[in-house]
Structure 1
């Protein structure tokens, strides 16, 4: 690790998903900084390395769900599989030699801000041997762990005496053939798993507290000619990406404070799902599978096979929640008993636990975990937090989307962080953090912007924190996010030089 005497700052990047990969590449490209990456798994890829459940595919189009500076002309389909996305990410990481700079099977366990040195003291350990620990000093820390990383495993299901599988830790060694399977959850994961699993199981029991809005996905394969054009006419591929971007931007209109458009969207979604269930011969499922909350309040899913699978005789929908488990029997709140061979938890991730096992101590020993438990997961423009100098979030609180690709958000956040670091380096600034007033103003404005939108439509979702505030999402368009992060406002920051606090304007 370099010291403060070196001209180039040292940077630790936690996580090697799209956030970590993007940040590492752009830091080297634009600032010549070779960051140190930490990855808890054996390979890069983040959620696309960890999640390998049956049927997993992206909900964002392939040509949009990829780094803008590394387009891929060879995507096979409109929506790519986990393996194809993961291979793409590994290829990008190899191209930029990120494997050589990554500590694999390494868990960062504590960050502590050193006031005197104005640097981060970082501790990490080997995931296979927790006694094997190391530490280092870094000028900056970039958190690229995101929100979708800690599996949500409700304790009430752990008493099941058969195999229990969370979709984030899929066990492909288990034989699901002719088994009775209970699946808990009705979100994006369950919607992908059920149509595939139904084909081999004896029976699926789908436990749903609230159903999801499910649209036709319109999957298709790219022809050899299309791939040829994308490869040899890069401008055509760029235009196609722009088209996809603005197409998805338009979806945001129905989520905002537009009552007429919201009513039209609701009517269209209801009609579409109703017609599919009627066509499948199961109009009786309409009350159970069509939501009673506005589209977008929870994540809208896409599948051309889910509703049709739910209509099959070997699938049962149970809307009454699980009251208790006796051995391999699930007892719902209506007193009905269902015996299952395997329990699958499609219960998503704990998005409210921002730091997970990582302890982050900022200025004055302030705990980020405790701070977020006491208030809300507040940030300044999704990227920084008051009291935690030189600490940047990527794909963290307030930066997820319900209508477009999060890759656009990650790239905008990365550019914003780089502009700040570049200005600090130029002006000999040791550390920087947002002011409390700037952060409070930003948080209040974002929460106000959610009023009247579908995200405040009364449903329970992972978008909300424990106090009911929408903490995971950005309320406006991806374009508005990009505009917001174009130019850092240094008047909103406290800047530290030579261990003394100075407010410096117009760096």
Structure 2
């Protein structure tokens, strides 16, 4: 197999898919075929449009290192700016011409006889069954994203009023002078509640557990700042790197649970929560909105106005879950009821469903879904999987972060994959995959590194699977991930040479 013959498929056009397609073209000269189920690029930032939607990582860091942007309006950018940034990057690199939009990839399967991936897709253009289109590729990048399958709890099936999930936002819903209930206390609820409260007659916030809230150091970039970042050589790069290493330092509070540092951080968060609620005139909410678990055990949210919004007269905090719904009535676990006009489900995503609706079959017809439903979702170096040659899963299991930007993780994964492809081309290999022994060693080491961290301190979170294993996160710094993926260590791979004709 040579470089000109190599074909690559990329599923998804969020940060992961765009990064893969751009780098494959830049470094290998290969024009990948991209597939996107939506009508435009952007992934999460195309789909999530709820009020207040924004990123909780500073924009200069939550962007590609090879496409720095000096034109962000704020330190933390809103959804529409990130979406436009991704569209601009896609246009610059010709991604639109390489992408099949409104196209769902429903199944990929490794065909051992051909030593190729068989990819089945179909158009979603109209509301009737579409013919399946089959194509073959040497390599597949799956940039599906973990935040894509909305979690809709069954207790809301009986609710007959208006229901909207933050991940499937309906902008036609009018919240003005309505009785609104928001279920959940994760990032989307924390961002949406301050906005919805402004127009609702009354808002009820249902939360089984409160979240730790860090104030955003939010500010607008001045014209002179943008000018300097754009025109002074290396200033934008220095600014980005400074923010990166600042966030790397945050790992100390998470990775060394029970130490002086983590205890001090815990006390600071407690005092900050109390200070903000007292300042808002609602000291009575301090015990309700102060979590009992340490900061970082669940993802820390950033907001300068969430706690203040919960303290407003037209907001009621219910520190319990909803157990049932009948008509337009919600019933919490205490038995109290609340009539609601509009129900907002900020209930997150089915993160264990890394693969969404996509069926992936590797060697010997092995189903990745079946494999991971029964076992820990093990990978090799966070991107390759034994039994799935020439396949790279981006931002899947074992690579999420609680302290830094996942865009850097994506870039490390893509660079690792390109090193693998370059090695295969150089050695005239038709395929390669990690050995099972190497994958087992990598997974065992991954699990071991979580011991002593805040993520194993006892709280329940989406970071944990049903067996209590932390499966959604990388247990160390991003710098360490970069180092781990810098060298694929090809002695740990099964190499397939081209069959002689």
- Please indicate, yes or no, whether the TM-score normalized by the shorter chain is above 0.5: yes
Residue of structure 1 equivalent to 2:434? 434
Specify the SS of the correspondent of 2:147: coil
2:234 aligned counterpart, secondary structure: helix
Residue equivalent to 2:53: 56
Q: Give 3-state SS (helix, strand or coil) of 2:324's partner.
A: strand
Structure 2, unaligned stretches of length 5 or more?
none
2:4/2:30 contact within 8 Å kept: no
Q: What is the rounded CA distance, in whole Å, between the counterparts of 1:5 and 1:22 in structure 2?
A: 23
Does 2:19 correspond to 1:22? yes
> Matches of 2:8 and 2:133 in 1, distance apart?
16
| Structure 2 match to 1:171 | 170
Q: SS at 2:119's partner residue?
A: strand
Deviates more, 1:476-485 or 1:255-264: 255-264
For residue 75 of structure 1, the aligned residue among 72, 75, 93 is 72
Q: Secondary structure at the match of 2:131?
A: strand
Aligned to 2:318: 318
Secondary structure of 2:132's partner?
strand
The aligned residue for residue 269 of structure 1 is 269
Distance in 2, matches of 1:212 and 1:13, equals 36
CA distance change for structure 1 residues 6 and 21 in 2, over 3 Å: closer, same or farther? closer
Contact 2:3 2:30 in 1 (8 A): no
Question: Normalization by structure 1: what TM-score?
Answer: 0.96
Stretches of structure 1 that go unaligned for 5 or more consecutive residues are 501-507
Q: Work out the CA distance in 2 between the residues paired with 1:304 and 1:354.
A: 31
Q: Which moved more, 1:451-460 or 1:66-75?
A: 451-460
8 Å contact 2:203–2:316 — kept in the other structure?
A: yes
1:473: which partner in 2? 473
Deviation at 1:8, TM superposition (A): 2.9
How far the C-alpha of 1:61 sits from its partner, in A, is 0.4
The equivalent residue for 1:376 is: 376
Q: Distance in 1 between matches of 2:210 and 2:139?
A: 42
Q: Over residues 16-37 of structure 1, what are the superposed CA-to-partner deviations in whole Å (9 max), with x where a residue is unaligned?
A: 0011111111111110000000
Structure 1 outlier segments of 4+, above 6 Å: none
Does the alignment pair 1:151 with 2:158?
no
Q: Give me the CA root mean square deviation.
A: 1.2
CA distance in 2, matches of 1:85, 1:7: 34
Q: TM-score, normalised by structure 2?
A: 0.98
Q: CA offset at residue 466 of structure 1?
A: 2.1
Q: Is the 8 A contact 2:110 2:116 kept in 1?
A: yes
Separation in structure 2 between the aligned mates of residue 50 and residue 266 of structure 1, nearest angstrom: 34
Inter-partner Cα distance in structure 1 for 2:110 and 2:171: 42
SS at match of 1:447: helix
Asked if 2 retains the 8 angstrom alpha-carbon contact of 1:116 and 1:499, the reply is no
CA distance in 2, matches of 1:362, 1:36: 20
Give 2:87's aligned residue: 90
* Cα shift at 1:396: 1.2
Match of 1:454 in 2: 454
Count of residues in correspondence between the two structures: 497
Structure 1 residue 158: Cα displacement: 2.1
Residue of structure 2 equivalent to 1:195: 194
Instruction: Tell me if 1:227 matches 2:239.
Output: no
Query: Does 2:487 align with 1:491?
Result: no
Structure 2 counterpart SS, 1:425: helix
Q: Say whether residues 1:105 and 2:102 are aligned partners.
A: yes
Q: Within 2, Cα distance between the matches of 1:231 and 1:352?
A: 41
1:181 aligns with 2:159: no
The answer for the alignment partner of 2:214 in structure 1 is 215
Query: Are the aligned partners of 1:182 and 1:206 in contact in 2 as well (CA < 8 Å)?
Result: yes
Tell me whether 1:344 sits opposite 2:341 in the alignment.
Answer: no
Q: Shift in Å at residue 6 of structure 1?
A: 7.6
Q: Secondary structure at the match of 1:485?
A: helix
Q: Is the contact between residue 107 and residue 126 of structure 1 (CA under 8 Å) also seen in structure 2?
A: yes
Counterpart of 1:503 in structure 2 is: none
Question: Could you tell me how far 1:5 is from its partner in structure 2?
Answer: 8.1
Q: Partner of 1:430: helix, strand, or coil?
A: strand
